[in-house]
A = this chain, B = another copy of it.
C-alpha cells in the first residue's frame, strides 16, 4: 500500500529555503496554489527564483511574494495580468526572464523526464535564441533548450488521494502537470481529499510518484465543494 503523504502545511513548506528555485502551477489564477502561496507569505525566505507561466492575476498569486521582496527572479511567459510585476522590474527590484509558454512547459516536463533538453523551432529568428545553442536538423533550425530542475514545486489539484494521485478540473490543469514533474520536492494542495482507491486508476492526471506532500487547500480557494464533486 503506498504511503500516506498528507502532512501539515508548515511541515511541507519547511522544505522551502532562501535562494531556492520553485516551479509554480496554475495559469493567471486558474489552478494557482493560493493556499501554499499564502503560507509562503508568512515565511522568512528570500531570493527565490520562480518558474511559472505568469505571476498571478491582478493582486493575487506570486505577485504577492514579489511585493514582499521575497522573489529575486521570475521566469514566465506573461506578466501582463499583474501590473506590479512590470513596475518592480522597471524599478530594478525584480529580474524577469520572458520565456515562450510552450518552451517553459516543455522545460519542466523534460526536467522531470530525465531528458537533458529539447530542440524547439519556437523563437528562431527572435531574441529567444540569444545565448542559446542553435542546432540544424533536416534543414530546419532549432533552439536547444536545456531542461529545468527546481528545488520545489507548488501546485493545486481539484482532487487528490493520500498518496498524491491528482485529478484536475477544467482549464486548471495547465502548468500543474509539468510543474509537478520537475522538482526535487513537490507539494500539492488539494481541494478534495480521498483515501487511496477512491479515484479511478484510469483517470489520474498526475501520478503520486511525482508528489512528495499533500495538504488541504483553503476552503475559499475550492471551486466545488466535496459533495458536488464528481471525478
Residues on A lying within 8 angstroms of B by beta carbon are: 106, 110, 113-121, 135, 137-138, 140, 142, 144, 146-147, 167-170, 200-203, 231
Cβ contacts under 8 Å, A118 to chain B: 110, 115-119
Contact status A142-B116, CB under 8 Å: yes
Report copies per complex.
2
* CB pair A140 B121 closer than 8 Å: no
Query: Across the interface, do A114 and B106 meet the contact criterion of CB distance under 8 Å?
Result: no
Q: Chain B contacts of A144 at CB under 8 A? A: 119, 135
A150 to B135, CA, bound (A): 22
The answer on a CB contact under 8 Å between B106 and A202 is no
Which residues in B have their C-beta under 8 angstroms from that of A140? Answer: 116
Which residues of B are found within 8 Å of A201, using beta-carbon distances? 170
Complex Cα–Cα for A120 and B114 (A): 7
Residues of B within 8 A of A203 (CB): 200, 202-203
Tell me which residues across on chain B come within 8 A of A135, comparing CB atoms: 116-117, 144
| Residue in B closest to A159 when the chains form the complex, CB atoms | B202
